[in-house]
Amino acid sequence: PKLVYDFAEGNKDMKELLGGKGANLAEMTNLGLPVPPGFTITTDACRAYLETGAVPAELADEIDHHVHLLERKMGKKLGQADDPLLVSVRSGAAASMPGMMETVLNVGLNDDSVNGLAHQSGNPRFAWDAYRRLIQMFGKTVLDIDGEVFEDALDAAKKAKGARTDLDLDAADLKALVETFKRAVHEQTGREFPQDPRTQMDLAIEAVFGSWNAERAVLYRRQERIDGSLGTAVNICSMVFGNLGMDSGTGVAFTRDPATGQQGVYGDYLQNAQGEDVVAGIRNTVPLADLEQIDKTSYDALMKIMATLEGHYRDLCDIEFTVERGKLWMLQTRVGKRTAAAAFRIATSLVDEGVIDTDEALRRVKGAQLAQLMFPRFDADADKQLISTGIAASPGAAVGKVVFTSAAAVEAADRGEKVILVRRETNPDDLHGMIAAQGILTSRGGKTSHAAVVARGMGKTCVCGAEELDVNVAQGTIKVNGTVIEAGELISIDGTTGEVFRGEVPVVPSPVVRYFEGTLAPDAGDDLVASVHRLITHADEVRRLGTRTNADTAEDAARARRFGAEGIGLCRTEHMFLGERREAVERLILADNDADREAALAELEPLQRGDFLELLDAMDGLPVTIRLIDPPLHEFLPSMEELAVKVAVARERGSASDHDEKLLAAVERLHEQNPMLGLRGVRLGLVIPGLFAMQVRAIASAAVELRKQGKDPRPEIMIPLVGAVQELHLVRDEVERVLAEVGVQVPIGTMIELPRAAVIADQIAEAADFFSFGTNDLTQTTWGFSRDDVEGAFFSRYLEKGIFAVSPFESIDREGVGALVRTGVERGRATKPDLKVGVCGEHGGDPDSIHFFHEVGLDYVSCSPFRIPVARLEAGRAAL
Ligand code: PEP
Ligand code: MG
């Protein structure tokens, strides 16, 4: 295949091949916007490199060809001594991975051409600065030299000169620094810095390919669930310079505020600077609006281009640009990352502006974003000690202990502690710590700094650029206005306002939760709530999937109902046997004759009945699926080890009680090596006489009672862990007998949570009025993964090795477990065409899984109350 595309040959829809950056550079080129000429090496080439460890043989010729074209276009040649063509080599994958991979600028400079550049530009300082940047970036990213080596040398040069910033170094200083850098390269690698521009370019391209598998890139992809086999494209772009003087500069811009979605001029600008200076937060930037004063022509041109881009992409765009001596150049654009709140606001504003329709607006918001908007906020009325206010970079309310390093954040998080990672600025090496922390606080950098961009992408709370804070990582202190905060102290940061508080600030429910609770009207003046209301209402109109909840208490049921649940998909009755009732369960287990057993059951029945009365009442008029008891009985007994010790000690003293002896015998009798695969679910019902009958009587009589009160209870009885239709027939006979005694009719269905059940679903459907997939057990038994053990034990390794990108307990494994679900639905409906089928495993509230359940034709998903709004939204999106 063709491995290299000129910018003029691509378009925005070629992201997979050209990466996001390459595809959008091509789009802008073809829109006639001022993009410096260049070309893109495809992700195919990268994948070939990653597979074989070598750059594909045909790539060199293609690059030659495109370099020639570029040289012709630019009227100068790579390495030309008197006027060199310089290029940037930048990574660009299909999915944005901010700061995760490599970039090398100023490729093409060497000991000769630096003089040509100095002469051509009339600015030797600039030329030497460009050269030292090349060696620095090349040294770090291509030659793997520790970046500190260069940073330290730069700091030393500044110190020697008494310089405050790099701008205070002159041409001679920078020339000397180039010599120092070259020496460092030789010392560190035993090789000279390569003088041949084409060698520089080839090595940089290889380094970009290789950076795809850099540790931090792998980690980022795992966090963001990005496929590790995609590879990155490489963009070779002719250089334009923002560091030619104060009439030059570089910046980033957003067509709307990525934090709120408000229209306006948002971004940062830095005069006399190149490339990453803005993002790295090296010097403090000025707000983009100031560019109007600095250079009105460029500012006006930028505003016009921003309008063009928003109109073209019909969405918020973010932009990187450079001004070279008063001429504006576009270096990058993409549909920009945004906060959850901005996503909702932007989507509905674009509908109001007539740019997109409501379906499209719904496509543009995600369940995960809605979930974020439901997180609590700081209580405005609480006593708090404000210590500073920085830039509100990524919203949320985070409380935690101060840590200063990524390693400390990870260690503390492993101990289960909540931490705030505090840094002067972050860089890609801080990623581990950012993931582990509740929030991120920096003292430098703007809304587009690394910390801000990455935190927003991860949905993590971030306050950046809190300049009053004097962060001393080495000492482990933050000094601010005369106070000192040390590592381990609690602070609270508000990513919505930028405020930083000492101590722990209490939180209150978010307005979005209050809206779902019904205590905040959608038209009460909160525009975010209004946006959420519009989109969730639309989702409800278009979705086919029903949304039920998993709830065992009237309180949960009532909340879920307010959140929009259309019934209960799973009530786990065993939760009703805990607490004080454990003793009655114990008596049931210890009973060694019918009379004792019946007495114990008789004791439990009214308690159960009371539970069901409340639950059915809370869901009056809506279906309530009640599952008969599932877990193994020893879960209700004391631990075998502890009891054995207690009894042994008592025996020694001759004081062992009869009760304890009996209890120990029962515990030993019921002990199982693999309780998850043991006596539980339908098996219990078949082995312990009267247990299921008691539960059914409680359900049926609760329904009768409510009906007497004029209510409309709609219980459904569900049998867990069925693997053979015979099991279901036997239990069904008993259940029907009890129902007939009480004189009510209740649908009787089963869970499909064993592979065998899915495979023989056609038989099972003969005895079931409905199915509900228990994807927790189905995942456990399909993979043979113990659901209680594996995630903590070795899943992180599995994720690292790319065996799966996300835990199959979190998001449905479509190929394996999903295939069984599909089979179960098909076979079940082959027997009973209108068999009602739902899912009640954890996957019922997972966005990706919901799309799958829609595809395979389930009737509803059931999830925990707090995930109901997310499920409604995603069910709507799945139906588009
Ligand atoms: C399941 O297995 O998916 C299920 C919902 O049941 P439980 O989690 O109670 O085993
Ligand atoms: Mg189960």
In this prediction, residues 831-853 reach a mean pLDDT of 96
d(CA 531, CA 521): 12
Q: Return the ligand number nearest the Cα of 772.
A: 1
pLDDT at residue 574 greater than cutoff 90 = no
Q: Which residues contact 634 (CB under 8 A, 6 or more apart)?
A: 640, 667, 670, 671, 672, 675
DSSP class of residue 506 equals: P
Best residue among 680, 840, 842, 867 to mutate for probing ligand 1, ranked by most atoms within 8 Å of CB: 840
**For 307-365, how does the pLDDT look when each residue is reduced to its tens digit (9 = 90+)?**
999 999 999 999 999 999 999 999 999 998 888 999 999 999 999 999 999 999 999 99
Among protein residues, the one with the nearest Cα to ligand 1's atom 6 is 774
775 alpha carbon – ligand 1 mean position (Å): 7
Q: Are 219 and 431 a contacting pair, CB within 8 Å? A: yes
Q: Which atom of ligand 1 is nearest to the CA of 777?
A: 2
Residue predicted with more confidence, 141 or 763 = 763
pLDDT at residue 264 greater than cutoff 80 = yes
Best residue among 549, 568, 570, 843 to mutate for probing ligand 1, ranked by most atoms within 8 Å of CB: 570
Residue 774 CB less than 6 A away from ligand 1:
yes
d(CA 547, CA 845): 9
Q: Which atom of ligand 1 is nearest to the CA of 753?
A: 2
Residue 321: what pLDDT? 95
What does the block give as tokens for 50? 């990653």
d(CA 814, CA 837): 17
Q: Are 804 and 812 a contacting pair, CB within 8 Å? A: no
Instruction: List residues bridging with 625 in a β-sheet.
Output: 716
Among protein residues, the one with the nearest Cα to ligand 1's atom 1 is 774
In this prediction, residues 371-387 reach a mean pLDDT of 90
375-508 placed in CATH 3.50.30.10: yes
**For 479-523, how does the pLDDT look when each residue is reduced to its tens digit (9 = 90+)?**
998 899 999 999 999 998 899 999 999 989 899 999 999 999 999
Highest mean pLDDT among 625-639, 800-814, 815-829: 815-829
DSSP class of residue 380 equals: T
CATH number for 249-335: choose from 3.30.470.20, 3.30.420.40, 3.40.50.620, 3.40.50.720.
Answer: 3.30.470.20
Residue predicted with more confidence, 824 or 98 = 824
pLDDT at residue 388 greater than cutoff 90 = yes
Q: Comparing C-alpha atoms, which of 694, 718, 716 is closest to residue 607?
A: 694
In this prediction, residues 58-74 reach a mean pLDDT of 95
pLDDT at residue 208 greater than cutoff 70 = yes
Looking at CATH, the fold of the domain delimited by 543-632+672-878 is given as TIM Barrel (3.20.20)
760 alpha carbon – ligand 1 mean position (Å): 19
Residue 570 CB less than 6 A away from ligand 1:
yes
Residue 776 CB less than 6 A away from ligand 1:
yes
Domain assignments of the chain as residue spans, ordered by start:
4-238, 249-335, 340-371+511-530, 375-508, 543-632+672-878, 633-671
pLDDT at residue 628 greater than cutoff 90 = yes
The upper half-sphere exposure of residue 845, i.e. CA atoms within 13 Å in the direction of its Cβ, equals 21
Residue predicted with more confidence, 641 or 870 = 870
773 alpha carbon – ligand 1 mean position (Å): 8
**pLDDT band of 678, cuts 50, 70, 90:** very high
SS3 category, 213: coil
Best residue among 548, 552, 572 to mutate for probing ligand 1, ranked by most atoms within 8 Å of CB: 572
**For 72-102, how does the pLDDT look when each residue is reduced to its tens digit (9 = 90+)?**
999 999 989 999 999 999 999 998 887 667 8
pLDDT at residue 561 greater than cutoff 90 = yes
d(CA 725, CA 710): 37
Residue predicted with more confidence, 222 or 7 = 7
Residue 282: what pLDDT? 61
Residue 28: what pLDDT? 97
Q: Which homologous superfamily is 4-238 in? A: ATP-grasp fold, A domain (3.30.1490.20)
Q: Are 436 and 410 a contacting pair, CB within 8 Å? A: yes
In this prediction, residues 851-873 reach a mean pLDDT of 96
* Range of lowest pLDDT (124-138, 198-212, 631-645): 631-645
What does the block give as tokens for 491? 């602070």
Output phi, psi for 224, to 5 deg. -95, 5
Q: Comparing C-alpha atoms, which of 241, 242, 301, 295 is closest to residue 271?
A: 242
Residue 572 CB less than 6 A away from ligand 1:
yes
Query: Would you tell me the crossing angle of helices 113-121 and 124-137 to the nearest 10 degrees?
Result: 140
DSSP-derived pairing of the beta strands 568-572 and 546-550: parallel
**pLDDT band of 280, cuts 50, 70, 90:** low
612 alpha carbon – ligand 1 mean position (Å): 20
pLDDT at residue 281 greater than cutoff 60 = no
A 10 A CB-CB count for 248 gives 24
752 alpha carbon – ligand 2 mean position (Å): 9
0.95 exceeded by the pTM? no
- Return left, alpha or beta for 814; rule: phi > 0 is left, psi -120 to 50 is alpha, else beta: alpha
Residue 276: what pLDDT? 67
Residue 392: what pLDDT? 85
Rounded to whole angstroms, the maximal C-alpha distance in the chain is: 105
Provide the ipTM: 0.99
Q: Which residues contact 85 (CB under 8 A, 6 or more apart)?
A: 70, 71, 74, 76, 77, 78, 79, 108, 238
Residue 498: what pLDDT? 92
* Range of lowest pLDDT (42-56, 199-213, 454-468, 730-744): 454-468
Q: How many residues does the chain have?
A: 880
pLDDT at residue 464 greater than cutoff 80 = yes
**For 416-431, how does the pLDDT look when each residue is reduced to its tens digit (9 = 90+)?**
999 999 999 888 778 8
Residue 97: what pLDDT? 82
% pLDDT > 70, the chain: 99
Going along 14-151, which residue ranges are E strands? Answer: 38-41, 87-93, 103-107
**For 767-817, how does the pLDDT look when each residue is reduced to its tens digit (9 = 90+)?**
999 999 999 999 999 999 998 888 778 887 888 787 888 889 989 999 999
Q: Are 765 and 807 a contacting pair, CB within 8 Å? A: no
Residue 164: what pLDDT? 81
Residue 62 CB less than 6 A away from ligand 1:
no
Q: Comparing C-alpha atoms, which of 772, 423, 835, 386 is closest to residue 572?
A: 772
**pLDDT band of 279, cuts 50, 70, 90:** low
% pLDDT > 90, the chain: 74
Q: Are 546 and 566 a contacting pair, CB within 8 Å? A: yes
* Range of lowest pLDDT (82-86, 452-456, 743-747): 452-456
Q: Which residues are part of the catalytic machinery?
A: 450, 840
Q: Which atom of ligand 1 is nearest to the CA of 774?
A: 3
Q: In this structure, is the dihedral angle defined by the CA atoms of residues 233, 237, 242 and 245, taken in order, positive or negative?
A: positive
Q: Return the ligand number nearest the Cα of 773.
A: 1
Among protein residues, the one with the nearest Cα to ligand 1's atom 9 is 572
Q: Are 475 and 489 a contacting pair, CB within 8 Å? A: no
In this prediction, residues 611-639 reach a mean pLDDT of 93
Rg (CA), the chain: 32
**Equal fold, 4-238 vs 375-508:** no
Q: Torsion over CA of 581, 585, 587 and 592, rounded to 10 degrees?
A: 170
Residue 458: what pLDDT? 75
Residue 801: what pLDDT? 81
694 alpha carbon – ligand 1 mean position (Å): 22
Among protein residues, the one with the nearest Cα to ligand 1's atom 8 is 776
pLDDT at residue 575 greater than cutoff 80 = no
Residue predicted with more confidence, 760 or 496 = 760
Residue 591: what pLDDT? 87
In this prediction, residues 232-258 reach a mean pLDDT of 92
